[in-house]
Chain A
Amino acid sequence: MSATKSDVLVGRDWLVEHLDDPELVILEVDERPVLYRVGHIPGAHCLDWHSDLQDPITRDIPNSAAIQALWRRTGVDPESLVVLYGDKNNWYACFAYWLFRLYGLRRMAILDGGRPAWVTGGLPLSTTEPAPENSEPPPPSLDPSLRASWRDVAAPESDPPQLIDVRTPEEYRGEMLTEPGYPEEAAQRPGHIPGALSIPWDHATREDGSFKSPEELEALFTASHLDRQTPAITYCRIGERSAHTWFVLHELLGWSDVRNYDGSWTEWGSMIAMPVALGEAPGFMPVTGREAKPPH
């Protein structure tokens, strides 16, 4: 077992001491971006996941030009140390981390415990939005090796990956399409991808939203008979909770081949003729392996 990579996780005390570091770029990413206007860590820029972390037209991640513009606005360059944090236990902060990693950014960390760690610690909040930074980052290149498509799940080119469904057990079993409060994220069919194991994302966190210890995290996944040597793919409903679990496996625990399937259940559960499993059991993918073909 490898130790947790401590350089991808920072605590609030560390952040307090480094707020004035010129190389530091702090980015807040909330499910509810209005929170940023209520108050944010001094100097932090806001990333709106609706408009900054998605393509405005296609259901896809932003293209290279959009990411470059976003980094220019927020002062990110290849030498920056970027600290991301947000509400909802860092769901969207982890999604931004994963997205920026796809585009080659190397020096990033998540604030352990997210926005609640700062707010409940009674630390100062600012309502002043920093001016655009206008840095000059080079156009980033997309490295797709950390991203899975439905084809990678349905018909992988090599051995079938370990599939990890991080949604609620009720969603996994097919008893509900979404958690209450997210009707816009409902797929056409409930259930899970055949063969996927159910490991809800929040099993990796404590009640205060911070990540569990490396030993606890490793035990969480090995107890489900997952193997760090075998490729793994995480998914949820739209790819943000699965980015959280991707962060745990790939960044904190150092599993080498982990991808986030950001199409996730809203894609899989809405496409025609995709295999679906219901109930507690993972089930079996009817079509896998080198010879397999996608349904259409």
Chain B
Amino acid sequence: MMRAELRRVQSRLARIDADLAQLERTEPASVSRPRAERYYQLLLSIYEHGRHGVDAAQLGALGATYDYDRRGLGGFFAGRRAPLRMTGDRVRLTPEGERLLERHLQDQTS
């Protein structure tokens, strides 16, 4: 009876192990999807404007520098892990945006 139960557990463990292996084959180790260099350049440009960030007009101009359509910039504000946020009339990096930028710069300069 106990041996039968042990075999069932071993069988389930083997199935879980196989599923995990399949997942590891189909997904990269990093959960962050790669982004274009211009994405980080825009974040860096906003960061380089200082603690108060930029206003909407400056954001539009910076976005155009990196070939972002003004309407397309909305994606930077979307989602729980958005890299940018608007506070009053100023656009600044979120903590997530700063983390993304820091990691990218570390990768680029190391």
> A34 near B105 (CB under 8 angstroms)?
yes
Give 1 or 0 for each of A111-149: 1 = CB within 8 Å of chain B CB: 001111001100000000000000000000000000000
- Complex interface: chain A residues within 8 A of B95 (CB): 180-181
Chain B contacts of A180 at CB under 8 A? 94-95
Chain B binding site: helix, strand, loop or mixed by DSSP? helix
Contacts A38-B44, A180-B95, A181-B95; is A116 near B50 (CB within 8 Å)?
A: yes
Chain B residues numbered 72-101 whose CB sits less than 8 Å from any CB in chain A? 90, 94-95, 98-99
Q: How far apart sit A95 and B98, CA to CA, in the bound complex (Å)? A: 21
Contacts of A42 in B (CB 8 A): none
Residue of B nearest to A180 (CB): B95
- Asked if A257 is at the interface of the complex by the 8 Å CB criterion, the answer is no
- Establish whether residues A114 and B105, one from each chain, have CB atoms under 8 Å apart when the complex forms: no
Q: A35 interface residue, CB < 8 Å from B?
A: yes
B50 and A38 contacting across the interface, CB-CB below 8 Å: no
List CB contacts (< 8 Å) of A23-39 with chain B. 32, 34-35, 37-38
**B89 to chain A: closest CB distance in Å?**
10
From residue B97, how far is it (CB to closest CB) to chain A in Å?
Answer: 9
In the complex, what residue of chain A is closest to B93 when comparing beta carbons?
A181
Which of these, A32, A37, A208, contacts B50 with CB under 8 Å?
A208
Contact A120 B102 (CB under 8 A): no
Complex partner residue of A89 from B51, B99, B108, CB under 8 angstroms: B51
Q: Quick check: A114 and B50 within 8 Å, CB to CB?
A: yes
Contact assessment for B48 and A116 in the assembled complex, using a CB-CB cutoff below 8 Å: yes
Q: Check if A119 sits within 8 Å of B52, measured CB to CB.
A: no
* Chain A, interface residues (CB within 8 Å), range: 20 to 34
Q: How far is the CB of B87 from chain A (nearest CB, A)?
A: 11
A114, A205, A207, A208 — which one has the most chain B CB atoms within 10 A of its CB?
Answer: A207
CB <8 Å contact, A34 and B106: yes
In Å, the complex CA distance between A185 and B28 comes to 33
B22 within 8 A of A: no
**Which residues of chain B have C-beta atoms less than 8 A from A35's C-beta?**
105
- Ordered nearest first, which 10 A-B pairs have the shortest CB separation? A181-B95, A209-B50, A37-B109, A116-B50, A34-B105, A119-B48, A207-B52, A89-B51, A180-B95, A88-B51
Q: A32-B105, A88-B50, A113-B50 are in contact. List 18 more A-B contacts (CB 8 A).
A: A32-B98, A34-B109, A37-B109, A38-B105, A38-B108, A87-B50, A88-B51, A114-B50, A115-B48, A116-B48, A120-B48, A180-B95, A205-B52, A207-B52, A207-B90, A208-B52, A209-B51, A209-B52
A positions within 8 Å CB-CB of B: 32, 34-35, 37-38, 87-89, 113-116, 119-120, 180-181, 202, 205, 207-209
What are 25 A-B contacts defined by CB distance under 8 Å? Answer: A32-B105, A38-B44, A38-B105, A38-B109, A87-B47, A87-B48, A87-B50, A89-B51, A89-B52, A113-B50, A116-B50, A119-B48, A120-B48, A180-B95, A181-B95, A181-B98, A181-B99, A202-B52, A205-B51, A207-B52, A208-B49, A208-B50, A209-B50, A209-B51, A209-B52
